[in-house]
Structure 1
């Protein structure tokens, strides 16, 4: 019985949980910063309940001031936009070949997108690296 009581005391206080709401009107595509959101008293079990869960995420659609931010409204931030000029990189052991290319789609870090090589006009697929480089992998 004591262990259950101790476990309950060590758990985070559920009464402090609430819903994350927009502190101002946020247009679609906004990357959420800490000053853009606040924590409200009402609890939404389906949505994020801590500000740290939404900071750094990108909004898929507009959220008006005072409205809850649902999990469906959020996505990973876009690292490469459609038609953006990117660096294509092919790596194998000690060899690294780089070329310039144009992104044919948008994507987040870790996603695979299609890119057209600017010099040869060949379309390749590659994974977006953290620095915005598209790394072409041999399949």
Structure 2
């Protein structure tokens, strides 16, 4: 069976699917733009829709010409580990704002652990798109 696959791949006119690849080397943490992508011939499955990659952040270094896969990308990180952040606790009319230290990276909408700088207690908070954190517990 393996020999048949190799023979079919070597035949002239063998079909290769177009996939998205890196137009140049993309370092870890790079947010992908349209200019970072190119269409490559690849016999391996990968992303084919540019909208699935544009605006996403690389999880690993992606070398030029390598096909892009969904597991290589993540939502852009708004909060970095050990970053000093604004914590907001709100219940009804009561609102408390204070500083905290993020215990991990976080993208908008994710729940992360944060240490309250005033009390040194750890709380769970949701990352807001503007970079603030809403305490959930």
Partner of 2:74: 75
Q: Runs of at least 4 residues of structure 1 off by over 6 A?
A: none
- Name the SS for the 2:120 alignment partner: coil
Counterpart for residue 115 of structure 1: 114
5+ residue gaps, structure 2: 1-16
Aligned position for 1:24: 24
The equivalent of 1:40 in structure 2 is 40
Question: How much is the aligned-residue C-alpha RMSD, in angstroms?
Answer: 1.6
Q: Which structure carries more strand by proportion?
A: 2
Length-normalised TM-score, structure 1: 0.80
Give the deviation of 1:95 after TM superposition: 2.6
Aligned-partner SS, 2:48? coil
Q: Indicate yes or no: 2:60 matched with 1:49.
A: no
DSSP 3-state at the match of 1:18:
strand
After TM superposition, give the deviation of residue 94 of structure 1 in Å.
2.8
| 1:61 match | 60
Question: In structure 2, how many angstroms separate the alpha carbons of the residues matched to 1:71 and 1:121?
Answer: 37
Please give the per-residue CA displacement for 1:28-70, whole angstroms capped at 9, x wherever unaligned.
Answer: 11111111111235475x4221211100111111111111111
TM-score, normalised to structure 2, is 0.81
Unaligned runs of 5+ in 1: 1-16
Matched-pair contact (CA < 8 Å) for 2:40–2:65: no
Count residues with an aligned counterpart. 121
